[in-house]
């Protein structure tokens, strides 16, 4: 079938909106009509050429929502008409990782996903007879896409696609990092580095968890009011603090009997390895945990003095907020529908597919929190 898609033709080039061919679903696969998709910083990261796994030409996008319009042979858990959110972290419930109960990182199809193909090793997308790569197993920058059955979460039918698409990455990643990965407790003191589409969701996750101090750090002063909107209690401009940023944050977290200082939990939501170091070192001696959410460019490495770890700080990472998509995503949709979490104010811009490159411009200019393409 013909579908409309934004094709990433080469690193660093704007997406080209055009008509491409999509083959129908094979065994174990489903065809989804994508109704809306968010644009995450990770799409920009791959499009920029910084992603060591980046493949071109490809159809990017991993933050979608839509409706099942066809199913392949053997599909049992999903039917035509179901409303779904595509999952770049699938949940097969059978692989060693799923069965371990220690991680959400299902390994059933990760290797073919990284090669830009479906689990049978072929692509469903092509243009002029030439193969186009899938991306993160989802390719939501197209009005139809094919996904493995294990890579869709069925959601309630009254949830608006143009809002809950954000649960496909940003919302779940931020809130999940707090609740699943850090397991933040009531009264905790926390620092969030980077108040964009992920960091603000970390902040609303911290508010849910009952954190008593939520310090937001950004280089852009306009993010102060954004952070406050979702529960941030203090703001620090990293540029103004300069080399004194870590001692400044440690001082802010000192209190009464505790004159050592440092946050119970810190979160990197920038993808900058220097910030990751600041986040670790701003956490509390003896028990501080620092959670890396940001994705760093090919070749980048994190560094710190081993002393930071010897003295009891822990460095952790999280993908998709530690969420098991088919199980957890429907619950997060319920939280949104019940008013327990907010999404609407973070979606600052919407646009039709032909204008998708504007979403990347807005991100580069620091003007958007989330842009959503509505098909
Ligand atoms: P974004 O562009 O919306 O936000 C990034 C924020 O960081 C901006 O507000 C920016 O001003 C701020 N910032 C930049 N440099 C900074 C610095 N030195 N100190 C403090 N703040 C700084 O991006 P996003 O969509 O929120 O994504 C954030 C990161 O998370 C990206 O690296 C993205 O790839 C990654 N990500 C990871 C996962 C995961 O599962 N681990 C999921 C989604 C996104
Ligand atoms: N291809 C990159 C890795 C990118 C990465 O870490 N992606 C996250 C999701 S970011 C969503 O916005 C993820 O799910 N990681 C787990 C995994 O298996 O990729 C690189 O650096 O190679
Ligand atoms: Zn993302």
**pLDDT at residue 146, rounded to an integer:** 98
- Catalytic residue of the set 44, 103, 110, 233: 110
289: which residues sit within 8 A by CB, 6+ positions away?
182, 264, 265, 266, 283, 313, 314, 316
DSSP state of 115: T
**pLDDT at residue 142, rounded to an integer:** 98
Which residues have their alpha-adjacent CB atom under 5 A from ion ligand 3? 40, 42, 169
Residue 217 covered by a domain: yes
**pLDDT at residue 5, rounded to an integer:** 98
Distance 170 CA to ligand 3 centre (A): 6
Q: What ranges in the chain are assigned the alpha helix state H?
A: 41-48, 96-100, 110-114, 161-164, 170-176, 199-209, 223-229, 238-241, 245-252, 273-281, 307-310, 325-337, 356-364
Angle (CA) 372-79-58 rounded to 5° is: 40
Residue 336 covered by a domain: no
Residues 49 and 99 in one domain: yes
Which of 198, 230, 239, 267 maximizes ligand 1 atoms within 8 Å of its Cβ, making it the mutation to test the pocket? 198
**pLDDT at residue 242, rounded to an integer:** 92
Is 269 in the active site? no
**pLDDT at residue 338, rounded to an integer:** 98
Residues 83 and 204 in one domain: no
Say how far apart CA 163 and CA 356 lie, in whole Å: 17
Residues 33 and 106 in one domain: yes
**pLDDT at residue 113, rounded to an integer:** 98
Cβ–ligand 2 contact at 317 (below 6 Å) = no
Residues 225 and 314 in one domain: yes
Say how far apart CA 337 and CA 139 lie, in whole Å: 26
pLDDT, one tens digit for every residue, the chain (375 residues): 999 999 999 999 999 999 999 999 999 999 999 999 999 999 999 999 999 999 999 999 999 999 999 999 999 999 999 999 999 999 999 999 999 999 999 999 999 999 999 999 999 999 999 999 999 999 999 999 999 999 999 999 999 999 999 999 999 999 999 999 999 999 999 999 999 999 999 999 999 999 999 999 999 999 999 999 999 999 999 999 999 999 999 999 999 999 999 999 999 999 999 999 999 999 999 999 999 999 999 999 999 999 999 999 999 999 999 999 999 999 999 999 999 999 999 999 999 999 999 999 999 999 999 999 999
Residue 271 covered by a domain: yes
CATH of residue 350: 3.90.180.10
Is 91 in the active site? no
Say how far apart CA 223 and CA 232 lie, in whole Å: 11
| Structural domain of 282 | 174-319
Residues 118 and 197 in one domain: no
User: Dihedral sign, CA of 97, 102, 104, 105?
Assistant: negative
**pLDDT at residue 45, rounded to an integer:** 98
Of the candidates 130, 98, 134, the one whose C-alpha atom is nearest the C-alpha of residue 119 is 134
Residues 10 and 134 in one domain: yes
Distance 125 CA to ligand 2 centre (A): 22
- Write the DSSP string, 152-207: EEEE-TTS-HHHHGGGGTHHHHHHHIIIIII-PPTT-EEEEE--STTHHHHHHHHH
Say how far apart CA 106 and CA 38 lie, in whole Å: 23
Ligand 1: residues with CB < 6 A are 40-42, 45, 169, 173, 193-199, 217-220, 223, 238, 269-272, 275, 293-295, 318-320, 363, 366
pTM: 0.98
Residues 118 and 155 in one domain: yes
**pLDDT at residue 337, rounded to an integer:** 98
Residue 334 covered by a domain: no
Is 285 in the active site? no
Residue 62 covered by a domain: yes
**pLDDT at residue 336, rounded to an integer:** 98
Is 62 in the active site? yes
Say how far apart CA 72 and CA 327 lie, in whole Å: 22
Ligand showing the shortest atom-to-Cα distance for residue 235: 1
Residues 13 and 154 in one domain: yes
Distance 349 CA to ligand 1 centre (A): 18
219 CB neighbour count, 10 Å cutoff: 16
Residues 249 and 144 in one domain: no
Distance 166 CA to ligand 3 centre (A): 9
Residue 111 covered by a domain: yes
Residues 69 and 87 in one domain: yes
**Quick check: 288 and 266 in contact, CB under 8 A?**
yes
Say how far apart CA 288 and CA 366 lie, in whole Å: 30
Residues 154 and 179 in one domain: no
Say how far apart CA 260 and CA 265 lie, in whole Å: 15
Is 110 in the active site? yes
Residue 120 covered by a domain: yes
- Write the DSSP string, 212-263: SEEEEEES-TTHHHHHHHTT--EEEEHHHHGGGHHHHHHHHT-BTTB-S--B
**pLDDT at residue 96, rounded to an integer:** 98
Residue 297 alpha carbon, nearest atom of ligand 2: 21
Residue 314 covered by a domain: yes
Tally the domains of the chain.
Answer: 2
Is 190 in the active site? no
Cβ–ligand 2 contact at 42 (below 6 Å) = yes
Cβ–ligand 2 contact at 91 (below 6 Å) = no
Ligand showing the shortest atom-to-Cα distance for residue 174: 1
Residues 270 and 205 in one domain: yes
**pLDDT at residue 228, rounded to an integer:** 98
């Amino acid at each position: 079938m013909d579908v409309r898609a934004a094709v990433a033709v080469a690193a660093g080039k704007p997406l080209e909106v055009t008509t491409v061919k999509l083959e129908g679903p094979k065994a174990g696969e489903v065809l989804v009509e994508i109704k809306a998709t968010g644009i995450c910083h990770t799409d920009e990261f791959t499009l920029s050429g910084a992603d060591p796994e980046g493949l071109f030409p490809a159809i990017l996008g991993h933050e979608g929502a839509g409706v099942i319009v066809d199913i392949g042979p053997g599909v049992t858990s999903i039917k035509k008409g179901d409303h779904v959110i595509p999952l770049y972290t699938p949940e097969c419930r059978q692989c060693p990782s799923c069965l371990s109960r220690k991680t959400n990182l299902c390994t059933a199809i990760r290797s073919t996903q990284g090669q830009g193909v479906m689990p049978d090793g072929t692509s469903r997308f092509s243009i002029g007879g030439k193969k186009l790569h899938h991306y993160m197993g989802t390719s939501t920058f197209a009005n139809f896409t094919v996904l493995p059955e294990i890579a869709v979460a069925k959601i309630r039918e009254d949830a608006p696609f143009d809002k809950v698409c954000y649960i496909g990455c940003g919302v779940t990643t931020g809130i999940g990092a707090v609740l699943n990965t850090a397991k933040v407790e009531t009264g905790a003191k926390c620092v969030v580095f980077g108040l964009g589409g992920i960091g603000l969701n970390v902040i609303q996750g911290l508010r849910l968890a009952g954190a008593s101090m939520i310090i937001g750090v950004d280089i852009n002063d306009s993010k102060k009011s954004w952070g406050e909107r979702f529960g941030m209690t203090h703001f620090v401009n990293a540029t103004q603090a300069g080399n004194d940023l870590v001692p400044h944050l440690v001082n802010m977290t000192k209190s009464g009997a505790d004159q050592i200082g440092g946050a119970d939990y810190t979160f990197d939501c920038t993808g900058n390895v220097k910030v990751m170091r600041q986040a670790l070192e701003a956490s509390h001696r003896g028990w501080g945990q620092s959670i890396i959410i940001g994705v760093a460019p090919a070749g980048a490495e994190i560094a710190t003095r081993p002393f930071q770890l010897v003295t009891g700080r822990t460095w952790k990472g999280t993908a998709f907020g530690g969420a098991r998509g088919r199980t957890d995503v429907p619950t997060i949709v319920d939280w949104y529908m019940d008013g327990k979490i907010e999404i609407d104010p973070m979606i600052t811009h919407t646009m039709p597919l032909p204008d998708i490159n504007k979403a990347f411009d807005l991100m580069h200019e620091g003007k958007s929190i989330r842009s959503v393409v509505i098909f």
